[in-house]
Amino acid sequence: MGSLFNAAPEPEFQFGFTAGQKCRIRICTDPPINIGLQILEGRSGVRLGFSPQSVHDAGLISEAVQVAVNADYAIIFTGHDPQWETEGQDQASFHLPHDQDGLISAVAAVDKNVIVAWYRHGSLVTNVEIPSQISLQERLIRRVTCHLPITYSVEDAPAHGNFPGEVKDGRLEVAYTEDIFVGYRHYDRISRDNDNFPFGYGLSYTEFEYGDMEIQHISASTFSVKVSVSNVGPMAGAGLIQLYAGKSELSVNHPIKTLVGFKKMELNTGQRDTVEIVVSITDLAHFDEKNKNWVIEGGEYDISLGASAADIVKSVRLSVPGSSWSV
């Protein structure tokens, strides 16, 4: 972990071994001092690895390209290993280590049917472990459908203009001016021309049709939303019903819509079912920093059914009374 904080360099050297001859390897380390990170202060760690020169110097990208030329589909497994992955600091860039970006580009240049699976990549690029722990094989053979819990974009990201911050008094400071407008809340306010994979986006090997939405008050604090869903595609499949809510009268201080519920469904081809999502009125609240309490602004709200944050299928208007309460 120390190498991520530039506290532990990784020297690389070559040595010629002779068959049948024993060797002793001596490693000398100096404990890191005054590096500004208490967890590593005065602690040493060593990890030693070997690689034959033939493997180290092999043109692996060239080999991958030659395989891809003759393949109908190319599946590339990329990502970070535990040494590169951490929650202790921000990623320095969106590039993958060890020229994996170059590997993807080279293979994609000779085979247009490319599937890229990222593992252990805790940055803007998602990985195959986030949506579920189901194996990649089941997704590729049309057995499951997955949806994205993040939004893909770089230049249009809400923190793009603020990151990595400015150095003040020798310290790097970041102004979180995006406030509550993070993720899909931010992308609702800008053009989606470059937003190819919005929050909640997913692919399926079948197709769904949605019937009328029905809203019923269950109590003073909850209401339910029901919608009929039909699998009109050629095979069985799973889908994700996403429910969003937002004030009908738009405000610059509040998101256009907020995810208030979701539910997964599985339907055989030709099957129809009714999906119900129960929503608490408190899901429509926001925190008033000035008065230090939670507030539900009374008025009209648009309750929307979406296939993703950018693909709203149906909307129904709901009148909600205003209220507030202390923490």
Separation of alpha carbons 305 and 243, rounded Å = 5
Separation of alpha carbons 315 and 243, rounded Å = 10
Q: Identify the burial level of 323 via C-beta atoms within 10 angstroms of its C-beta, where 0-12 means exposed, 13-18 middle and 19 or more buried.
A: middle
Whether 282 has a pLDDT exceeding 60, the answer reads yes
Instruction: Return the DSSP state at 9.
Output: -
Phi, psi of 283 (to 5 degrees): -70, -15
| Confidence band, pLDDT 50/70/90 cuts, at residue 32 | confident
* Sheet strands (E) in 219-257: 222-231, 237-247
Closest alpha carbon to 270 in 305, 313, 226, 237: 237
Q: Are 305 and 239 in contact (CB under 8 A)?
A: no
The amino acid that residue 228 corresponds to is S
| Confidence band, pLDDT 50/70/90 cuts, at residue 126 | very low
Whether 109 has a pLDDT exceeding 90, the answer reads yes
**At 70, is the secondary structure helix, strand, or coil?**
coil
| Confidence band, pLDDT 50/70/90 cuts, at residue 139 | low
Span of 74-78, 104-108, 122-126 with lowest mean pLDDT: 122-126
Q: Is the pTM of this model over 0.85?
A: no
| Confidence band, pLDDT 50/70/90 cuts, at residue 56 | confident
Domains of the chain from N-terminus onward = 1-52 (no CATH), 208-326 (2.60.40.10)
Q: Are 163 and 176 in contact (CB under 8 A)?
A: no
Whether 191 has a pLDDT exceeding 90, the answer reads no
Confidence (pLDDT) at 130: 43
Confidence (pLDDT) at 211: 92
Mean pLDDT of 204-220: 91
Mean pLDDT of 94-113: 88
First to last CA, the chain: 39
Q: At what angle do helices 60-69 and 100-110 cross, to 10 degrees?
A: 20
